[in-house]
């Protein structure tokens, strides 16, 4: 009796165990078939292939509708390692058809082997001709993906337009909308307007057999999506003016920026030396990039918006305007110049000219001594009680002219320049300093630093008699009625418009009557200009020139800065004058000056 009960208990236990096992199996089967989707996805990858459809990037035009950047077709060569026919694969033929080296092919196939079901890029930038030859060979496991590559018809504006490169792990980490293999704008316009230019990717779902051969579109394309081409942009650049500027700056280091004062539109922006933007395209992009990176002349550095230079004598315009606004200067005020400014043992040298002189003649002749007097009068103004307080007032004026901070242009790498604060001098001189200590600031030297963009903006301010629009590079965006509204807003300085007239007259006299800018005269165009020679203690001085024309209702404002160019009238002025002449008259009537500038090779120009 006891044995029967024990046998029954064992049988019940066994039944329960068997039931539990079947319940677990049934539950697992239910989960796998109806809940867990991974195996379904793996099964689909055996028959379906999702091919990314890359959009063409938006094109960029100049202000007259001429192409600056286009997109042309190319192809990425992909492989799915699992579908590869390794026994019948003809390596030599494959390399001959695609142009891929055997070493690269082995390396990329080794990478693909790590994820055999995931498409892996073997080569990029295949041309249409290479793609057609590849298609004729029917290499199992390989296929091509259509995409576009940038093309630069005029081969100008390398630093201005920027370049496109493949995203890295850091970019993907901070920008989840990108995937490995995607491209992104790395600099210039390509970077600043990436969101508009990039477009939107599509996808094509294909059915493939077990050999990787495409049979047809999955579900008649129900799950496909078309790529959306990027937005096209109309830039503010005049391509012909840009080309001439790059030709004139060849063999020189520096920058040229020209702006339309009435709008803030950048007409040209040259950073020299630059590079052919086509060099950063195609299979040789990596090699060319490293060569440019090692170049001692730093062609990848956009000096026009990033470099920090002393403004030199062009800054005297700001000193005069501050003095007029503060009431410590009248246009008729006379100051002496005995080959410079003298105060005890301190001397600020100057060149020979008539003395004494008034404000207009001081601007025309670029007199150092005159603006030393003005600077001291500003800082030592009795109403402020001390030079230190006067300096703070002076600095506020300077910042209102756009110095010491970013202007807010559409260049993401725009520099700030530098205007020292009072604390800087307190620390340097332990609180013991006065106007004479900072006298070099009076002629745009000392610690002052500015970008060529800021100097061109100063030309716009004077041309407009007291205000500027934020300089910008884009004039129109496809599908939009206007660009960012901040580019339509006027920014006023702290100097009243009435005080600009004697400064403008002085600049006009310096070009058209007597002064340091006489070479810039263009009969009938009323050019106004101001030369600058920025001292460079260890090497040859920098040459700079600031100008606008015509005097009334100006159409162009320009700044030229040439490193180690010597006197402002010797190098920077001729470049600016030729560019103004070409823009305003559509021709150049001084071929001898044009040839002189093109042939000018500076002694400090570092060869690559």
Q: What are 243-298's pLDDT values in tens digits?
A: 999 999 999 999 999 999 999 999 999 999 999 888 888 778 888 889 999 998 89
Q: At what angle do helices 239-248 and 572-585 cross, to 10 degrees?
A: 160
The pairs formed by 171-177 with CB atoms below 8 angstroms and a separation of 24 or more are none
Question: pLDDT by residue (tens digit) across 302-347?
Answer: 999 999 999 999 999 999 999 999 999 999 999 999 899 998 888 9
Average pLDDT, the chain: 90
CATH code of domain 48-235: 3.90.1310.10
Let me know the angle formed at the C-alpha of 518 by 514 and 522, rounded to the nearest 5 degrees: 120
Domain ranges of the chain: 48-235, 239-599
Residues 604 and 564 sit within 8 Å (Cβ to Cβ): yes
Q: How confident is the model at residue 202 (pLDDT cuts 50, 70, 90)?
A: confident
pLDDT at 42: 47
pLDDT at 375: 97
Question: pLDDT by residue (tens digit) across 503-551?
Answer: 999 999 999 999 999 999 999 999 999 999 998 877 889 999 999 999 9
User: If DSSP codes are grouped into helix, strand and coil, which group holds residue 425?
Assistant: helix
CATH code of domain 239-599: 3.40.710.10
pLDDT at 407: 97
Question: pLDDT by residue (tens digit) across 429-439?
Answer: 999 999 999 99
Contacts (Cβ under 8 Å, ≥6 apart) of 78:
119, 120, 121, 122, 142, 143, 144, 145
- Cα separation, 456 vs 329, whole angstroms: 25
Average pLDDT over residues 135-144: 86
pLDDT above 70 covers a percentage of the chain that reads 93
- Cα separation, 308 vs 413, whole angstroms: 13
Residues 471 and 453 sit within 8 Å (Cβ to Cβ): yes
Contacts (Cβ under 8 Å, ≥6 apart) of 62:
68, 234, 235, 237, 238, 239, 242
Statement: residue 217 has pLDDT above 90: no
pLDDT at 97: 87
3-state per-residue secondary structure call for 338-349: CCEEEECCEEEE
Question: pLDDT by residue (tens digit) across 15-44?
Answer: 777 777 777 777 676 666 655 555 555 455
pTM of the model: 0.87
- Cα separation, 117 vs 113, whole angstroms: 9
- Cα separation, 548 vs 568, whole angstroms: 16
DSSP symbols for 386-409? SHHHHHHHHHHHHHHTT-SS----
What single-letter DSSP state applies at residue 335? Answer: B
- Cα separation, 559 vs 86, whole angstroms: 63
pLDDT at 145: 87
Q: How confident is the model at residue 181 (pLDDT cuts 50, 70, 90)?
A: confident
3-state per-residue secondary structure call for 28-47: HHHHHHHHCCHHHHHHHHCC
| Same CATH fold assignment for domains 48-235 and 239-599 | no
Question: pLDDT by residue (tens digit) across 550-592?
Answer: 999 999 999 999 999 999 999 999 999 999 999 999 999 999 9
DSSP symbols for 588-602? -S-HHHHHHHHH---
């Amino acid at each position: 009796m006891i044995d029967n009960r024990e046998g029954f208990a064992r049988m019940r236990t066994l039944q329960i165990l068997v039931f539990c096992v079947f319940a677990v199996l049934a539950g697992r089967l239910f989960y796998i078939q109806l809940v867990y989707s991974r195996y379904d996805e793996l099964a689909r990858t055996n028959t379906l292939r999702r091919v990314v459809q890359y959009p063409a990037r938006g094109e960029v035009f100049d202000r007259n509708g001429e192409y600056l950047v286009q997109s042309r077709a190319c192809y990425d060569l992909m492989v799915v390692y699992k579908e590869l026919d390794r026994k019948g694969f003809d390596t030599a033929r494959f390399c001959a058809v695609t142009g891929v080296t055997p070493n690269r092919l082995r390396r990329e196939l080794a990478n693909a082997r790590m994820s055999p079901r995931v498409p892996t890029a073997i080569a990029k930038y295949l041309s249409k001709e290479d793609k057609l030859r590849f298609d004729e060979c029917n290499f199992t496991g390989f296929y091509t993906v259509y995409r576009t590559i940038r093309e630069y018809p005029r081969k100008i504006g390398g630093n201005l337009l920027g370049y496109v490169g493949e995203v890295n792990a850091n970019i993907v980490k901070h920008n989840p909308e990108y995937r490995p293999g995607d491209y992104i704008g790395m600099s210039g316009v390509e970077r600043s307007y990436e969101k508009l230019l990039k477009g939107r990717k599509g996808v094509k779902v294909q059915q493939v057999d077990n050999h990787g051969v495409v049979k047809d579109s999955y579900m008649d394309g129900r799950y496909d999506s078309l790529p959306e081409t990027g937005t096209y942009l109309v830039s503010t650049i005049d391509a012909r003016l840009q080309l001439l500027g790059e030709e004139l700056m060849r063999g020189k280091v520096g920058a040229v920026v020209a702006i339309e004062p009435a709008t803030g539109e950048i007409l040209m922006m040259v950073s020299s030396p630059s590079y052919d933007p086509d060099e950063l395209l195609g299979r040789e992009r990596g090699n060319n990039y490293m060569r440019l990176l090692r170049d001692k002349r730093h062609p990848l550095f956009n000096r026009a918006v990033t470099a920090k230079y002393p403004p030199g004598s062009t800054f005297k315009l700001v000193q005069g305007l501050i003095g007029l606004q503060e009431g410590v200067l009248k246009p008729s005020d006379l100051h002496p110049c005995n080959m410079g400014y003298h105060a005890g043992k301190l001397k600020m040298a100057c060149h020979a000219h008539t003395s004494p002189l008034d404000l207009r003649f001081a601007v025309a002749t670029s007199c150092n001594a005159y603006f030393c007097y003005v600077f001291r009068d500003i800082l030592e103004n009795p109403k402020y009680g001390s030079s230190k307080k006067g300096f703070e007032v002076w600095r506020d004026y300077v910042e209102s002219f756009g110095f010491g901070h970013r202007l807010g242009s559409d260049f993401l790498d725009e520099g700030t320049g530098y205007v020292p604060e009072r604390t800087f001098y307190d620390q340097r001189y332990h609180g013991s300093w006065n106007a004479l200590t900072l006298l070099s600031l009076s002629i745009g030297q000392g610690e002052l630093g500015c970008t060529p963009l800021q100097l061109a903006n100063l030309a716009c301010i004077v041309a407009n008699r007291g205000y500027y629009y934020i300089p910008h590079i884009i004039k129109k965006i496809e599908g939009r009625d206007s660009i960012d509204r901040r580019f339509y807003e006027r920014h006023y300085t702290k100097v009243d418009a009435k005080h600009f007239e004697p400064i403008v007259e002085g600049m006009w006299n310096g070009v058209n009557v007597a002064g340091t800018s006489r070479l810039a005269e263009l009969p009938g165009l009323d050019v106004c200009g101001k030369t600058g020679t920025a001292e460079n203690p260890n090497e040859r001085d920098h040459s700079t020139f600031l100008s606008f024309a015509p005097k009334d209702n100006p159409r162009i404002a320009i700044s030229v800065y040439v490193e180690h160019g010597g006197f402002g009238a010797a190098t920077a002025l001729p470049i600016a004058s030729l560019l103004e002449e070409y823009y305003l008259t559509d021709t150049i009537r001084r071929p001898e000056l044009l040839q002189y500038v093109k042939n000018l090779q500076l002694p400090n120009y570092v060869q690559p």
